[in-house]
Every structure is written in C-alpha cells, then in structure tokens.
Amino acid sequence: MLVAVVGMTALALEWTVRDGVAPLAVFYYALPMPVVAAALLVGLALALVRERRAELIACGVLLAACIATHRTTAFVIAAPARAPVTRSISGLLWNTWRARPGLAEMIREIRLQDPDLFVLVEPPVDAHKDPLVRLRELMPEYRFAFVGRRFVIAARGRVGKPSDRPLDGGSAATVTLTIHDIEVRVLCVDVGSSPLRGRRGPLRQIAELAAPLVAIPALVLGDFNTPRRSVHFEDLRSAWTHAFEAAGSGYDATWPEPVPVLSIDHVWGSAGLKFTDCRIVPTKLSDHRLVVFDFVPLTASGADETDDQTDRSGDR
C-alpha cells in the first residue's frame, strides 16, 4: 500500500499547500503527477496479479484522480489571441546546460524558430574559443551579450551592457534590448535546482527586481527550477503575465526531455506588453524544451504600438 500512500500525499499537496510549507516542499517537487501516476499504474498491475482487491481499488481510484488532476493543472487552453495590428516581437528561451551537440547544431535549432531575441540559460562552453566570439561568427545577424557562464542574450537589434543582480542560490542579470526601435528590458534568471533549497527567498527577490519594470515592455524569463503552480510565484503573478497561461495551449512541462514532467522554464511579461503566442517545443539536443513566444508592446494607454517603425539594427 506504500504506492497508495505516496499517491494520496501527492494529491493532498497539489490541492492544498503545494510548496507553501518548507518541510513538505521537497515532496511536492519530487512527486509530479506523471511520476505518481506511473507508480500507481505499477501498483495497480501488481495488485491485479496478486488479487488484492483493496489495493486494486485504492490504486485505481488514486490513478484516476492523478490523471484528472494532471489534466486540470498541467494543460492550458488559452483563448486565441487576436492577430496583432502591429509587428510582433518573437522570442525564445532555452536552457542548454546538458546540450549534447556542439554550437552549430544548437544554432540550427534556434534558427528553425527564427526569433527576434533569444536567451540561453547555462550555455555550452566552447573549449577552444570564447563562446561569444564563436556565436558572433555563426550568427552574424544577431548582437550578443554573455553573462559569465550563466546566460547568452541575443537580439536582432541593439543589446545593452548586462548588469548582474543578486539572487540567493542562483543568478540574475538585466539587459536592455532594442528591437524594431522598441526598447525591451529583460531580466534573466537561473534559480538553483536543489529540491532541498526553499524557493520563497529567490522568487521574492525576482519579484522585487522585476517591480521597477512592470509598466514598460519587459520580460522576466529563465530556468526557475520551480513548477508553474508554485505558491511562491504569487508575488510575480500579481503584476506579471505568464506567457503560456496567456497565449499557450497544451502541455506545459519543459523538463526533462524526452518525457518532461515539470514546468520549470518560464516567461513572464509586464503590463507593457501582450503575449500573442507561446509554444513549448520538443528537442533532442537538450534535456530542456524550448519556450518560444510572441508579444506586442503596448502604449501607455494599453493599445498596441503602431507598426510604422524602421528596424535599425546595430551592435552596442
């Protein structure tokens, strides 16, 4: 009956405190619904073989509850966004820490999505050449900023000098991008992955770092190593919009490939922009899926920016 106890624990956490109680958070992170459902399926099969009626019923009921819960919490069906009257900006987020191929293969994957801007979290390091030099050689249409070994930030336009920001147990950096003559502030984050470390502190810090940017076109994006339904996103969620919740459709999990069970890579938008599309894209090149999104900047009145601007790209 151990598997049934695990199932009941996971369901109770999902529908009550989630990761809001520190000692229980590790169980919430370690027991995503697909993993619990797989364990219950095994328990169901064993109970059937052993002809244990009580265990069979318990595992069957809990399995159905897990599937229903997962369908409710991990799948998003956003209302179709109206076609933007302006030129939208496309973006891409990708954690490439466990990327197996070289930079050339990764670049081909990025070019398939054709983003105006992209952020690589924990980018691969070329042992023979400065990675920023290598990227500039392979992608001359983009301008780049490289923040230590944590972030590569690129845009078809001007890229300002990035600034490191303090973050407990992780990394953060801000940078200003100019795309289609529109300034977009970007806050990149990489939260520590250990399930034993609380998420309350770093996510509160991220919300504080993001607060001055909320009224302008701005993005907060990266590997949060925190499920989308975490209670610790409440501070950020109160003023920012989650891209996949606003404009995505389907399964939200981004890690680990090839069978993702957790949504830990997130893109948030300020009140100064509106998401028009968001997709989670499978890949064979990393253990994280790509998050691809489109957005349009908004004027102070909340209307779309007019599309009468010239794209004047330049390095900085």
Residues 88 and 127 grouped into a single domain? yes
Residues 66 and 104 grouped into a single domain? no
Residues 145 and 291 grouped into a single domain? yes
In-domain check, residue 211: yes
| Gap between the terminal Cα atoms of the chain | 62
Residues 159 and 238 grouped into a single domain? yes
Range of the domain at 266: 78-297
The label of the residue with tokens 């100019």 reads 178
Residues 41 and 84 grouped into a single domain? no
Q: Where does a domain end: 46, 76, 106?
A: 76
In the chain, beta strands by DSSP E: 75-77, 89-95, 117-121, 143-147, 151-155, 158-159, 163-165, 170-179, 182-191, 218-223, 241-242, 249-251, 265-269, 273-281, 290-297
Residues 86 and 44 grouped into a single domain? no
Residues 138 and 103 grouped into a single domain? yes
Q: Read off the tokens for 202.
A: 């770093």
What pLDDT is recorded for position 149? 80
In-domain check, residue 314: no
In-domain check, residue 271: yes
Residue 137 vs residues 111, 122, 133, 242: alpha-carbon distances, Å = 15, 20, 6, 34
What pLDDT is recorded for position 102? 72
Residues 20 and 169 grouped into a single domain? no
Residues 234 and 249 grouped into a single domain? yes
What pLDDT is recorded for position 104? 82
What pLDDT is recorded for position 98? 73
What pLDDT is recorded for position 304? 61
Residues 291 and 192 grouped into a single domain? yes
Domain of 94, CATH number, reads 3.60.10.10
In-domain check, residue 27: yes
Q: Where does a domain end: 76, 96, 126?
A: 76
Residues 24 and 97 grouped into a single domain? no
Domain count, the chain: 2
Residues of the chain predicted below pLDDT 50:
301, 305-316
DSSP symbols for 132-145: HHHHHHH-TTSEEE
Contact 156, 141 (CB under 8 A): yes
**Pick from 10, 151, 144: which is nearest to 69 by CA?**
10
Query: What is the DSSP secondary structure assignment for residue 82, as one 8-state letter?
Result: P
Residues 36 and 117 grouped into a single domain? no
